[in-house]
Amino acid sequence: MLIAQISDTHILARALDHPAAKLRADCLRRCIADINQQRPDAVIFTGDTVQHGQPEEYARLRELLAPLDAPLYLVSGNRDDNGALRSAFGDHSNLPGNGDFLHYVVEDHELRLVAIDSTSPGERKGVFCPARQAWLDAVLSDQPDRPTLLFIHHPPFDVGDHYVGGYRRPEEAAALADVVSRHPQVRGLLCGHVHWPVERQWAGTEARIMPSVAVDLRKGVDETEARERPIYMLHRLSEETGFVSQARRVDAEA
Ligand SMILES: [Fe+2]
């Protein structure tokens, strides 16, 4: 199964007279054009879709995402507003229309996809409270033999000096690792938030953090080579090859 991942686009409203508004929109537009050429089975968007959680930002985001051919699965980041995101993407049948959390399961693909909500209003750090712990454990217990991919905004582990103590409570990050380690059908965890590329083993599976699509916010990438070129990820997962990730640098003419 081929999955494209985008993250941390931090889209601003069209009316905002700020160079970053045009730049970030252009980064996403170019990624979408290239993703369509790659023909992935699904596109996963790991949050911080917009900058301030405002309806006019989500309106702009929808315009930019409209050309996307593949099915799109979103989770929110700390910059998102779950209510505004729900309103803007009310036609996305996988998104729960009510309830406290924007988490859900997608059963339509070779891999089972599980979206985990690590946000809480007014909280910059990740949250994985007991209610979410119980939900994820029940979801994963439901189909223990089906290969599964998880996605979430906040990575539940530290990244060098750049991202330390990223969860509201350390025990909540530890609880996520504990749940995942008890379900060996989990093939991986895709994250955003840090704007920095990381690949590591975690909780008995593979974890990936991708850099921000917004190039003005990106960290940890060789900027002498590719300052102007947005990056998204292509993840290929199969029983034969395992979990293979490629960073796609998108040309201006894409
Ligand atoms: Fe972000």
What's the average model confidence in pLDDT over 227-254? 89
- Look at residue 14 in the predicted model and tell me its pLDDT: 86
- Look at residue 223 in the predicted model and tell me its pLDDT: 63
Q: Is 254 among the domain residues?
A: no
What's the average model confidence in pLDDT over 145-170? 96
What pLDDT, in 10s, does the model give residues 99-149? 999 999 999 999 999 999 999 999 999 999 999 999 999 999 999 999 999
CATH number of the domain bearing residue 233: 3.60.21.10
What domain range is 50 assigned to? 2-249
Task: Identify the DSSP state of 220.
Answer: S
Task: Identify the DSSP state of 81.
Answer: -
Q: Is the pLDDT of residue 224 over 80?
A: no
How many structural domains does the chain have?
Answer: 1
Q: What separation in Å is there between the alpha carbon of 144 and the centre of ligand 1? A: 32
Q: What separation in Å is there between the alpha carbon of 74 and the centre of ligand 1? A: 14
- Look at residue 253 in the predicted model and tell me its pLDDT: 57
Q: What separation in Å is there between the alpha carbon of 231 and the centre of ligand 1? A: 14
Contacts of 120 (CB under 8 A, 6+ apart): 127, 129, 168
Q: What separation in Å is there between the alpha carbon of 199 and the centre of ligand 1? A: 18
78: buried, middle or exposed (CB in 10 Å: 19+, 13-18, 0-12)? buried
- Look at residue 225 in the predicted model and tell me its pLDDT: 58
In percent, the amount of the chain with pLDDT more than 90 equals: 89
- The pTM of the full predicted model, rounded to 2 decimals, is 0.96
Q: Is 7 among the domain residues?
A: yes
Q: Is the pLDDT of residue 169 over 80?
A: yes
Q: Is 55 among the domain residues?
A: yes
d(CA 8, CA 49): 6
* pLDDT averaged over every residue in the chain: 95
- Look at residue 252 in the predicted model and tell me its pLDDT: 64
Contacts of 196 (CB under 8 A, 6+ apart): 159, 162, 163, 209, 211, 219, 220
Q: Is 67 among the domain residues?
A: yes
Q: Is 52 among the domain residues?
A: yes
Q: What separation in Å is there between the alpha carbon of 146 and the centre of ligand 1? A: 31
Q: Is 219 among the domain residues?
A: yes
